[in-house]
Amino acid sequence: MEAIISASELAVDLAGEHPPVVLDVRWQLSVAKAAGEPPFDGRAAYAAGHVPGAVYVDLDRELAGAAGAAGRHPLPDLAGFGAAMRRAGVSAGRPVVVYDGGQGWAAARAWWLLRWTGHPDVRVLDGGLPQWRGELSVDVPARVEGDFVPVPGAAGLLDADGAAALARSGVLFDARAGERYRGEVEPIDRVGGHIPGAVSAPTTDNVGPDGRFRPAGELQDRFKALGADGAEVGVYCGSGVSGAHEVLALAVAGIPADLYVGSWSEWSSDPSRPVAVGPEPQ
């Protein structure tokens, strides 16, 4: 099953007899903003214009649990997640396409959660809403209840101990910016640095200037050069959002990977866990 879909392919599918459910997951990471600058409002962005028929999904409320010891975006309560997906019209037998504002991180989080909980056909709009060439709608579609019931997968998910072990036995990619990996800056979490043994692989390097993923062959070459050549692969980031985007890039490259959802926000919250700094995995 393909992990991504182009805007032109989505337009064709939406005009067909069996259109996919489309989820709008526009979101931005909350960091310190200039005085007087309001936080990003994904629901307002949706109301101002969205792919016709799309349903808005709130990442912070519906694709993650409450922030705490398990990280800033831990796994959501699965009963609540399932209810949110059914309200959005998601059914097991109907394809789903997810998009965001172009960065791809939020859409990838929804893709990963749906795939991990058993949906067989989920794709991300490559490049997000900026790639859409059709008309935008301000209409909220009539609610059609879906039947999707999430069933967590036996694989695909790492906890802190599993991530630490994989950094030694396979390859654990750190999807954050290089300066955060090296510990030079840390704008959000308690301390900078990385999980010992992890390899820096910023997810921003997986896309081109237009926000679309680089060709599968280029991604394969990149990840293999970083150590994913037959090894078991895991990914983490700050809080399990941009890391999902790297897992998606790996899927485009044909490389399966697990996600450490708690990521650095969970790892660094415990002072007893080791922290490495500098450009090398250590």
Q: Flag whether 279 is in a domain.
A: no
Tell me whether residue 261 is in a domain: yes
Same domain, 163 and 202: yes
Residue 203 has pLDDT above 80, yes or no: yes
CB atoms within 10 A of CB 165: 16
**221 and 112 assigned to the same domain:** no
For the segment 136-177, what is each residue's pLDDT rounded down to a tens digit? 999 999 989 999 999 999 789 999 999 999 999 999 999 999
Number of compact structural domains in the chain: 2
**110 with 164, same domain?**
no
Is the same domain home to 25 and 100?
Answer: yes
Residue 154, pLDDT score: 76
Element (H, E) at 220: helix 216-225
Of the pLDDT bands very low, low, confident and very high (cuts 50, 70, 90), residue 30 is low
Alpha helices for 93-133 (secondary structure H): 105-116
Rounded distance between C-alpha atoms, residue 243 and residue 250, angstroms: 11
Q: Which of 237, 238, 258, 261 is nearest to 247 (CA)?
A: 258
Task: Please say which residue of 131, 147, 175 terminates a domain.
Answer: 131
Write down which residue in 77, 97, 131 finishes a domain. 131
Residue 32 has a pLDDT of: 46
Considering only CA atoms, which of 255, 237, 253, 241 is closest in space to residue 201?
237
The domain that holds 71 is classified in CATH as 3.40.250.10
- pLDDT at residue number 36: 60
The chain-wide mean pLDDT, for the chain, equals 95
Do 120 and 168 lie in one domain? The reply is no
The structure tokens listed for 95 are: 């394809």
Percent of the chain with pLDDT over 90: 94
Within a domain: 137: no
Helices marked H in 15-104: 42-48, 59-62, 78-87
What is the reported pLDDT for 188?
92
Q: Classify residue 106 by burial, with Cβ atoms within 10 Å: 0-12, 13-18, 19+.
A: buried
143 within some domain? no
Residue 45's domain spans which residues?
4-131
- Mean pLDDT across the stretch 265-271? 97
Using an 8 Å Cβ cutoff, are 21 and 97 in contact?
A: yes
Per the domain annotation, does 23 fall within a domain?
A: yes
In this structure, the answer to whether residues 167 and 84 fall within a common structural domain is no
Shared-domain flag, residues 166 and 258:
yes
Q: Is residue 136 part of a domain?
A: no
In a domain, 100, yes or no: yes
Q: How many residues does the chain have?
A: 282
- Whether 123 and 220 map to the same domain: the answer is no
The Cα–Cα gap between 100 and 129 comes to: 6
Please indicate, yes or no, whether residues 24 and 92 belong to a single structural domain of this protein. Answer: yes
On whether both 120 and 163 belong to a single domain, the answer is no
The reported pLDDT for the residue numbered 140 is: 94
**Domain annotation covers residue 141:** no
Shared-domain flag, residues 15 and 95? yes
Q: Is 33 a catalytic residue?
A: no
Angle at Cα 267 formed by Cα 265 and Cα 268, nearest 5°?
70
Burial class (CB in 10 A: 0-12, 13-18, 19+), 223: buried
22, 237, 247, 250: the catalytic one is 237
User: Cα–Cα distance between 146 and 95 in angstroms, integer?
Assistant: 12
Q: Last residue of some domain: 116, 131, 146?
A: 131
Do 16 and 61 lie in a common domain?
yes
